[in-house]
Amino acid sequence: MRLLARLLTISLALAALSSNAFCDAGNLSGRVYEKKLSNGLVALALPRAGAPVVTLQMTFKVGSVDEPEGAKGVAHLLEHMLFKGTKTLGTSDWEGEKPLLDEIEAVGKALDSEKRKGDEADAPRIIILEERLKELEGLQAPFVVKDETDAVYSRNGGTGFNAFTTSDLTSYIVSLPSNRLELWAAIESERMREPVFRGYFNERKVVIQERLQRRDSEPSVLLFEGLFDAAFKIHPYRYPVIGKPEDFGTLDIDVTRSFFEKHYGPDNAVAVAVGDFDPEVFFALLERYFGDIPPRGGAFPPIPKEPLQEGQRRVEVFSDAEPMAVIAFHKPTLPDRDDYVLDLVDGILSGGRSSRLWRELVENKKVATQVSTVNGSPGARYDNLFVVYVEPAPGVEPETALEAVREELRRLAGEPPPPAELEKVKRALEADRVRGLLSDGGLSRRLSFFQTVAGDWRYIEEHPKVMETITPEEVSKVAARYFTPENETTAILRRPAQKAGEAGK
């Protein structure tokens, strides 16, 4: 059966060589079942014949963009905390553990309060509180059943149990045998209803270490943090998802709990199931397990619109790594028509080895070893950036590579692409779209994302229809509208020895 399934997948991919096959494979009309519970939970179900497996995804419309001042990083921390269990999962004896958790929380809050005093903090008191916290956590340890939710899913045939947080949303995913749907509903409703924040103060340290390791091991993280901070002056897209160190080190547990209680309820969630299952059974389980969870009603404060950029911005960051650079331009988000056009621009500029930037910068001019573009960074719920990333070739200054990028952008803005080139990119984008819909996981991710961010999963269906109406002249006009010097932000990563006054030493 596995060989047959593999051969079927290969044959589907080959069939996708024709545009008609692409259109058929990507057609979701009439296949997606929808239900909205009275408490606001939106459910999407897409049954597909095959192995008796279902991919399940619970997505909350809450990400780093929604965090209040002074609590940057709380959404990412909550992603971690919801793996810590509930009153029945993650503990060997809830009644015995609960008093210790209460005391741990009281001591941890007192320690945070003292640390927030900075230079005026009582150092001896900090030491006493740290020692007491460590002692209490040691007493609690025998009650903790580590990773029990993951273990329960695994014992029942579950795979891929994971989660992720972005600027725009937080999502939890697992694939289970179809006859384990009720297990998922029981666990996820309990995590939504009343999670237990065990290990809170330790987990903050884990996330801080994660941030440090990423910045050290992935210099591009440092580069993009610099870019977003320069490009956005007031919009919260300027902050990294993982949070601000000055907020995160003493992020109050009450603030974290309040953020959860306001925003991680059924009225801010989308539940998606894709695979071999009965949609009516899925909907009935949602009603049974989630239906009595009251809506949280935690409206987010309005996010201020980023002011129009009126001049070129530039930032440099330093790391012991090979130089790299990014150039970014403000643009509207979906479903603005210009966003569709810029999806095509993305493909024209960096869609494979025959794309303009690869051909010109890497093969012809040899000023770069890598180049890529992204339309819609760092998020898609609000107006965002079109970004070009480039790794200069050895011995080539980042400015030289960036000027080569600008030359290609000016060429696209001044001269419409040939119809054949545009048609090729349209077909390639449609091929990518359909390939993403061939797997249960791909379908689940896309249905969750567009229902959450665009407010309607049907954006998946509308995208290729709009693409077909875009002309070469429109591509050129849109490129000219956004790829301007006054709308440009650049960020360059150099080695520390290249700082001003140190170069050449």
Q: Per residue, what are the HEC states of 448-468? A: HHHHHHCCCCCHHHHHHHHHC
Angular region, 248: left φ>0, alpha ψ -120 to 50, beta rest: alpha
* pTM to 2 decimal places: 0.90
| 3-class DSSP state of 102 | helix
Contact 108, 256 (CB under 8 A): no
pLDDT of residue 327: 98
| Residue 359 DSSP one-character state | I
pLDDT tens-place values along the chain, 505 residues long: 333 333 333 333 333 333 333 343 468 988 999 999 999 999 999 999 999 999 999 999 999 999 999 999 999 999 999 999 999 999 999 999 999 999 999 999 999 999 999 999 999 999 999 999 999 999 999 999 999 999 999 999 999 999 999 999 999 999 999 999 999 999 999 999 999 999 999 999 988 888 888 777 789 999 999 999 999 999 999 999 988 878 888 999 999 999 999 999 999 999 999 999 999 999 999 999 999 999 998 788 889 999 999 999 999 999 989 999 999 999 999 999 999 999 999 999 999 999 999 999 999 999 999 999 999 999 999 999 999 999 999 999 999 999 999 999 999 999 999 999 999 999 999 999 999 899 999 999 999 999 999 999 999 999 999 999 999 999 999 999 999 999 999 999 999 875 654 544 4
Please state, in angstroms and rounded to a whole number, the distance separating the CA atoms of residues 86 and 194.
Answer: 7
